[in-house]
A and B are shown apart, each in its own frame.
Chain A
């Protein structure tokens, strides 16, 4: 049986939901079944947002078994094969969904919560955040994807496709690059730029050593 669960987390407005949509549409293109609920905060902005992407499919000749194929919208604790976090603190907040084999991709771009802004709490040191996550899994990939998008494409619009490229390179998603690209072409304007961003993402993912600690400048 094919099963692969991805948890995407971020802040409202960062594109976590649309990243999830691309990964789901690509699954349908691939012929897989996909489900996954969204958790949206009560607010439009600044609230925690997660998107669950859960792939399932039968291997060739495998009979349908309801007990195995009943898959809910939410990934259980320790169940995520991959986490893509658009923000460092949010990766840590959702650490319960990780296990020692989970692949984690973190956008090294902190967004300050209101509680920190008004002085009620402080934003933890980023290295501290990452070392806590590494206590669960060694497969942590940290990149300042916003900065890469800005410097290479002069825009923040390629953050999603860069993330997709990195995820495709470092994880074992049951998707072909072709399905992802076909979906990107269908969903985003400016395919040329996004295709380049996807390739660059793959390059970044491949070149980064497993467990790479150094955040990209």
Chain B
């Protein structure tokens, strides 16, 4: 049984921070869930999907984008059903228009917005500090520190949302989303509300004429009411101490801070742990600050707490010295090491000897070791597509990059990628640039899910403005990078269930694209020819759809439904000229190098190979051999043909 579905209050299970948020939703009686997947918050959507059988009343969807997802959750709230929308931090840029209005128009049932942030940007193109949105949208923001708080604060967020008539944001950085540990369960609601009901509320829902001003005022009043009640909300707490230097922190940084203080031997410092970081209560902050000589604020990324605290204390006349971003970096992740180091310098205390030693010696010991960057998975159709694009262009075109697994084409061996910013930056930037450059060709990339997210308006614009570019849609049928959520082009689920895919070709035709070709990426020669042909046509938007299912999903599928034939690829050493086309230029990790008395040779590691066949198709020496074996029902295997 899925441990998240257990109704055993007090039981401790192993859960990821994201799972804890799912469980919080269940315990709060959630009825509607929407998301656009994005690391680090993707597993929340997967969590609800996995619980569909046990909780059939919860509508769960992977929406087309965050804007749609947020609107959907607002609609459910207005139908008096508790709703949650989740996204990664940059998704907030897309959803923010909806969420501004959600603050103005208010909620009916609790509406919680979960934002997975990514300090350090380990899986994002930006590490923007999303907490600032709360100052602009007037949405309260909670910052849980632990897996347990991720669940408990989620429930609290629903209560606050209803009490103060505002959507509430729950911010979870990647190191909380992906923290896996003990979670103690609460109880599930005895009854769930299956259906909602809409009631007209024109004074809140119609933002016209005087209504928008009145709603602006109401949003301000709501946040003011919450501000006054903060001490009653009990999301903040103080670890008391007699020290004259106090600390304020929130989120996972609180735990880093406590560990750093212990390492530095500081046992008497008062520490204020903020669970709600907007709005702040003036009495609480001034009560903590009064009597202290100095306050050090420890927060990841920018000085969101510091900005508010300094502003708030200014009005009270308290002038306790405050240090925050003066001493801590405003970018990148924090951890115990960074905080201990900064505090040791600031407070004039030595670092523990073993830590000091580890930091010094490790730098020497790791000098010159090779970096390890990501690569396409074995059997990935994008690898084959990129190989063909590089061969067809010799990199002598502008490569308009975008967000998806194919972003890896910026790395060796391909290096065929000139920019990546936000979703649909490929066609979007290229079609404007093309109005002002001459004699240069552009290939833009987009994945299927990114295309549907916000690419269609860009392509329409490119067509309307006569931008001359080749658009390669890398359609692998899934939102692969975030863990294989369905995309609008998913045609068959992993268990063989037929889906309802969007007809990309029909869509492109209807918006005026005249040149549309499909390629099978593993058919390298045909793919190279197709890219060359598309580049040769000089006018308009030419679309190549590189259509092949994500290799990981393909591998899962054949485990469930084994094919009739099994295939093997082998390198014939006698014919291999060691030309490196497969080993370096394609760079498939299943092709390995080994040594014998005659020098080095290449072979295909059978247990790793996914049988995509790209290497055979590109081998200029015909040295790669394909063997097909028919699998009979049962265990017997018989060689059928060798080609």
Q: Which chain A residues have a beta carbon within 8 Å of chain B's beta carbons?
A: 11-12, 20-21, 24-25, 27-28, 33-48, 54, 66-68, 70-74, 76-79, 89-90, 92-93, 95-100, 112-124, 132-133, 135-136, 156
Is there contact, CB below 8 Å, between B374 and A43? yes
A113–B147 Cα distance when bound, in Å, is 34
Q: A73-B175, A95-B366, A118-B587 are in contact. Are A136 and B373 (CB under 8 A)?
A: no
Is there contact, CB below 8 Å, between B374 and A42? yes
Task: For A121, give its contact among B255, B354, B371, B552 (CB under 8 Å).
Answer: B371
Shortest Cβ gap from B332 to chain A (Å): 14
- Residues of A near B359 (CB, < 8 A) are 77-78, 96
Shortest Cβ gap from B196 to chain A (Å): 37
Is there contact, CB below 8 Å, between A71 and B255? yes
A sample of 13 cross-chain residue pairs with beta-carbon separation below 8 angstroms, ordered by A number, consists of A12-B374, A28-B14, A73-B175, A74-B336, A77-B358, A78-B352, A93-B372, A96-B359, A114-B373, A114-B587, A118-B584, A121-B371, A136-B365
- Residues of B near A40 (CB, < 8 A) are 122-123, 178
Is there contact, CB below 8 Å, between A76 and B259? yes
Shortest Cβ gap from B173 to chain A (Å): 10
Q: Which chain B residues have a beta carbon within 8 Å of chain A's beta carbons?
A: 12-14, 122-123, 146-147, 175-176, 178-182, 239, 252, 254-256, 258-263, 267, 335-337, 340, 352, 354-355, 357-359, 361-363, 365-366, 368-378, 405, 408, 411-413, 480-481, 552, 583-584, 587, 589, 593, 607
Is there contact, CB below 8 Å, between A77 and B362? yes
Is there contact, CB below 8 Å, between A45 and B589? yes
A79–B176 Cα distance when bound, in Å, is 20
Shortest Cβ gap from A143 to chain B (Å): 20
Residue of A nearest to B365 (CB): A132
Residue of B nearest to A20 (CB): B180
A39–B173 Cα distance when bound, in Å, is 12
A68–B265 Cα distance when bound, in Å, is 11
Task: For B175, give its contact among A11, A37, A98, A156 (CB under 8 Å).
Answer: A37
Q: A46-B589, A76-B263, A77-B337 are in contact. Are A35 and B365 (CB under 8 A)?
A: no
Q: How many A-B residue pairs have CB under 8 A?
A: 198
- Residues of A near B362 (CB, < 8 A) are 77, 95-96, 136
Is there contact, CB below 8 Å, between A21 and B361? no
A48–B122 Cα distance when bound, in Å, is 11
Is there contact, CB below 8 Å, between B239 and A89? no
- Residues of A near B146 (CB, < 8 A) are 35
- Residues of A near B336 (CB, < 8 A) are 72, 74, 76-77, 79
Is there contact, CB below 8 Å, between B375 and A43? yes
Most chain B CB inside 10 Å of its own CB: which residue of A21, A41, A46, A90? A46
Is there contact, CB below 8 Å, between B123 and A36? no
Q: A28-B13, A76-B340, A118-B584 are in contact. Are A123 and B370 (CB under 8 A)?
A: yes
Residue of B nearest to A48 (CB): B372
Is there contact, CB below 8 Å, between B370 and A41? no
- Residues of A near B368 (CB, < 8 A) are 124
A66–B261 Cα distance when bound, in Å, is 12
Shortest Cβ gap from A115 to chain B (Å): 5
Is there contact, CB below 8 Å, between B358 and A96? yes
Is there contact, CB below 8 Å, between B372 and A11? yes
Task: A21-B14, A47-B372, A135-B361 given; name 11 further pairs at CB < 8 Å.
Answer: A34-B182, A36-B179, A42-B123, A46-B589, A72-B255, A78-B358, A93-B366, A95-B361, A100-B354, A112-B593, A135-B365
Is there contact, CB below 8 Å, between A37 and B258? no
Q: A21-B180, A43-B375, A114-B411 are in contact. Are A78 and B355 (CB under 8 A)?
A: yes
- Residues of A near B179 (CB, < 8 A) are 35-37, 73
Task: For B373, give its contact among A92, A113, A133 (CB under 8 Å).
Answer: A113
Residue of B nearest to A46 (CB): B375
A37–B336 Cα distance when bound, in Å, is 13
- Residues of A near B335 (CB, < 8 A) are 72, 74, 76
- Residues of A near B14 (CB, < 8 A) are 21, 24-25, 28, 34
A73–B337 Cα distance when bound, in Å, is 13
- Residues of B near A78 (CB, < 8 A) are 352, 354-355, 357-359
Is there contact, CB below 8 Å, between A46 and B337? no
Is there contact, CB below 8 Å, between B587 and A24? no
Is there contact, CB below 8 Å, between B262 and A44? no
Is there contact, CB below 8 Å, between B371 and A47? no
Is there contact, CB below 8 Å, between B355 and A77? yes
